[in-house]
Structure 1
């Protein structure tokens, strides 16, 4: 009950503070039927793209839901700085880029000759270098990426402009999921989401990002811990640097683990992890979010196969298109 009370408390701003979510806006259903399974990404003329039912789906600006790329098997989606669609494809264990003419290019499908686990989420820095997470959910018998001691690695990788791939985070985290490079390239945020292990990590970490795109593991800092609740999934950032993190659960599965009193929704944190606001999402599991709209003040949220939206008072930070 204490957790629920705190979430209700932070759903409303302190006296005199500007609200983070527009008080005149309510959570709105934009599309259903698995159209909002994962990885929302807004395009100014094409609409909102998302992963669901094995496809890349598109919600047109007119509100029509359709399949953009059938049987793509994607999760995280993001427009890079040239307006091309990056996609993590866990089914085929690869990361791809779809050009504006529809051509699909495989950017990477192995590291050192070993297949990835299940590329999950993607972010880019100011130099258009790509960072992606590589966890494994479900059966683990065919995992190939191991450390020197034979332990599995579910870390984060970087793809440079010349195609070179480097591992930037290894066993510093248990199971990397959502990833985000801050606007100034100073930090890499990593959602450590080991929800299917009793006592597993449900934490958001911050690492210092170096100019060459590497990470100093000694700078690892805990930003927020969801305890025994369902931990963080995808995350985005607004123009003020606040983090919008999808996490929590409405109904525990299996009972008691994760803790369903840590409710499902979008947790808004400042850069140091202070909880500033929360908006509840009714369907499990809430997976990710993305800003969009002409003023970038519409937050699109994926949860339980439903694509939602809610208005914010501050514009979100988008990699593409550039801010006007």
Structure 2
């Protein structure tokens, strides 16, 4: 342990200043006129930060007017300030990945290293709040979202147990990879559905549909022949008590796989892929896509009027501004 604070690394990772414009961006591809009403084909793609190893889990915090996101292998939670500077909000995390905001405005995190769902408290501590299911350790929680009733939903694939740059090698204690629903008021943890390797998840605006991506094909990135075939987003109906039904195919990407995604107030799904962000209407119509030139892992809406799409894309944080608010 370093006792002298002067020897500790600084927090500043980008100095204040305006964003750069992505030089090779060729514009938004519009495949349906509905998208053109929301997003200009000539909107510039902005580069807000460069230097991450695997950017993930962006979440907008309105009370702070700031964006937080993870750099998983660098074990940092990053923070974008209104003036453009980027700092390390948390250093030496336990391989944080997905992040969300609970109903009380606190950050909730997925941790590969501690294999848990954790929460940032007012005292600055990051407290594990879900660690086991029926007495067995979770696999490696990957993405998280909070329902309108305050319950915390998360995916629990095995990626962090197989990729040493995203966690540490370990044998899973569970024989399934699932989506869970945790009620922080009662401590009740429910296993809602099983998948090959669940990844991203998000609710429709009315909370009646849950979308979950299953991306076992991404195991091809792990040494050895482990890869599956799934690279799709599935949809479920959500009952009043959270029960899921009517499991059905929603969308798959031709390039890479749909990692993390977000849903806007129109019910459109904005999903990451190897070639950019794809926009799909609730009726499964492909509306268009934003080519990024690098693999995207996740995205979210934010900004003072919720009209900016933030994109976590491998080593960069990107953004594009919509004509109309998205959330």
| Local SS of the residue matching 1:76 | strand
Would the aligned equivalents of 2:77 and 2:91 in 1 still touch at CA under 8 Å? Answer: yes
Residue 17 to residue 58, structure 1, CA distance change in 2 (3 Å): closer
Tell me, yes or no, if the aligned pair for 1:30 and 1:63 is still in contact at 8 Å.
yes
Structure 1 gap ranges (5+): 1-7, 147-152, 249-263, 318-324
The farther-off stretch of 43-52 and 77-86 is: 43-52
Q: Which of 242, 248, 264 is the aligned partner of 1:213?
A: 242
Q: How far apart are 1:310 and its partner, in Å?
A: 0.4
Distance 2:112 2:122 in 1: 22
Inter-CA distance 98–13: structure 2 relative to 1 (3 Å threshold)? same
How far apart in 1 are the matches of 2:140 and 2:69? 17
TM-score relative to the length of structure 1:
0.82
Q: C-alpha deviations, 1:279-313, integer Å up to 9, x for none?
A: 011123x1000101111010000011210000123
The counterpart of 1:239, out of the listed 262, 265, 273, is 265
When residues 211 and 234 of structure 1 are mapped into structure 2, their CA distance, relative to the original with a 3 A threshold, is same
Aligned with 1:299 (options 300, 304, 309): 309
The 8 Å contact of residues 66 and 81 in structure 2, kept in 1 or not, is answered as yes
CA distance in 1, matches of 2:51, 2:28: 31
Distance of 1:182 and 1:14 partners within structure 2: 21
Aligned length: 283
Over the residues paired in the alignment, what is the CA RMSD in angstroms?
A: 2.1
Aligned to 2:84: 63
- CA 1:13–1:54 in 2, change beyond 3 Å: closer, same or farther? same
Hey, which bits of structure 1, 4+ residues long, moved more than 4 A?
A: 13-17
Match of 2:38 in 1: 20
| 1:174-220 alpha-carbon deviations (Å, 9 max, x no partner) | 1100011222120110001112255510010001111111212xx01
Q: Go from structure 1 to structure 2 and tell me whether the alpha carbon gap of 1:100 and 1:23 turns closer, same or farther (over 3 Å shift).
A: farther
* Structure 2 unaligned residues grouped into runs of 5+: 1-25, 164-168, 221-226
Counterpart of 1:149? none
Q: Is the 8 A contact 2:27 2:291 kept in 1?
A: no
Corresponding position of 1:224: 251
Cross-structure match for 1:316: 326
